[in-house]
Amino acid sequence: MEWMADPSPGAWLRDRLDDDVTASMHGVVPRGFPAYARVFHPGVVRSLPDRPYPTPDEWERLPEPERRRLDAQFSGERVTWADTAAVFGTTMHALAQWQRIVRTPVDGDWRTRIGPDGREYNAPAEGELDPDLLSVLAGHLAAHTATPDAGVAALWEGWGGLVGFFGQTPSRAFLGFDDDPHHRAMLERSTHDPFNNGFRKPTWQEGILSREISEGPRLRLPQRDHVPFTAGASEFADPDWVLRAPWRDLAAEEHGFPPSAQSPSLLWPDDRAWVMVSEIDFDSTIVAGSPELVRAICTDERLEALALREGADLTWDADEVNR
C-alpha cells in the first residue's frame, strides 16, 4: 500500500456519480454496474450496566474476573439488523433504516434505544466497516476481479487526525485517544497560551499521514475529497491488513490503544470490475459489481447483506416499510 501522488486513476468515477447526493445512493455510489449489494454494519447490544463504569483508581483495585465482566457488559456484542428488527417488531429489508428499525419516536435518540427485551441497542458505525468484516468482504472482492493484487484504496480526507494542517489546535486532538489524561494534558499545554494566544502564528500540526501526503493532490469527487493509495483487494482479505496500512494510527498505539486503521472509503481493482463504497454518512457499505459477486456477498453468513436495485434511495425517509 503506497500513497498515490497522482490521483487521476480515480477520475473515471466522476462520470458515474450524480450531482444530487439526496436523490439516490448514486451521489456516492457509481452507476452503470449490473448489480449492487448493501452490507449492513452491525449494531451493538448490551445489558444495562449494574453499576457506573469505574474510575481508573477503582479499576486498579478490581480483581481480574470483575474487570472482564465489566468490559463485556460495557462493550456489548455485535447484533445484526435482522435480529434487532425481530426484537422491536419491525421488518428487515434492503432499504431499512436503523432509526425506523428501532422505532425511534419523533425527536428521540435513535443512536441508543432500550429494546422490549430490556437491553440497550446502539446504532451501527457510520463510514467504516469493522476490519474483520472488511477482510471477509475483500475475500469475495478478490475472487471477482482479474486484478486482485492491484487497485486503489481511498480514504476521505476529513477523518479526524488523518492529515496534518496549519493551525493552533493539534490534528491529533480530534482522535479518540485524547481521553488519555496525559495526552489531554499535553494537548492543553500545546494549545493554551495565556498571553499572546490571539496573535500566535499558526504552525504545522502533524496528522497520521506525512506532511507530503497531507499537502498532496486529492481524488476530488462531487461530494468528498479523498487520499488515494495503491492497494488490491487481496491486501484487505488478509485479517492483518491493519498492521500494513500506511494510515495506521501509531500514535494511538503509543498510548495503549490496540492497532487500528480506518477502513477505506473507496476500493476498486485496476480492471474496475467492482467498486466498494463506505460513505461516511452511511451505516452500511455498498458494493457495485457483477450479479455473481453480489450473490456471493449476500449468501455469506458472516456478513449481513442484501441486494439493491440501481437507483436505490438510502436516505432516512426511504424506509417506508417501517414508518
Three-state SS string across 218-279, please? CEECCCCEEEEEECCHHHHHCCCHHHHCCCCCHHHHHCCCCCCCCCCCEEEECCCCCEEECC
Q: Where are the beta strands (DSSP E) in 157-241?
A: 165-167, 203-205, 219-220, 225-230
Q: Which of 154, 144, 125, 196 minimizes the C-alpha distance to 2?
A: 154
pLDDT of residue 316: 85
Share of the chain above pLDDT 70, in %: 87
The model scores a pTM over 0.85: no
| pLDDT digit string, tens, across residues 105-164 | 877 888 999 999 999 999 999 999 999 999 999 999 999 999 999 999 999 998 888 888
Q: What is the distance between the alpha carbons of residues 16 and 30, in angstroms, rounded to a whole number?
A: 5
Share of the chain above pLDDT 90, in %: 61
Confidence of residue 88 (pLDDT cuts 50, 70, 90): very high
pLDDT of residue 176: 45
**More confidently predicted of 97 and 196:** 97
Confidence of residue 60 (pLDDT cuts 50, 70, 90): confident
Q: Which of 125, 88, 123 minimizes the C-alpha distance to 321?
A: 88
Q: What is the distance between the alpha carbons of residues 65 and 87, in angstroms, rounded to a whole number?
A: 30
Confidence of residue 309 (pLDDT cuts 50, 70, 90): very high
Q: Angle at the Cα of 28 (from 22 to 29), degrees rounded to 5?
A: 115
3 state SS of 35: strand
Rg (CA), the chain: 21
Per the CB < 8 A criterion, the answer to whether 275 and 13 are in contact is yes
Q: What is the mean pLDDT of residues 179-189?
A: 40
**Pair type for strands 266-269 and 275-277:** antiparallel
Q: Is pLDDT above 50 for 189?
A: no
**More confidently predicted of 181 and 125:** 125
Residue 32: which region, alpha, beta or left (left: phi > 0; alpha: psi -120 to 50)? left
Q: What is the mean pLDDT of residues 57-63?
A: 81
Cell triple for 303 = 456478513
Identity of the amino acid at 100 = R
Q: Is pLDDT above 80 for 291?
A: yes
| Averaged confidence pLDDT in the chain | 86
CA–centroid distance for 253 within its chain: 19
Q: Is pLDDT above 50 for 179?
A: no
Q: What is the distance between the alpha carbons of residues 187 and 194, in angstroms, rounded to a whole number?
A: 15
Confidence of residue 200 (pLDDT cuts 50, 70, 90): low
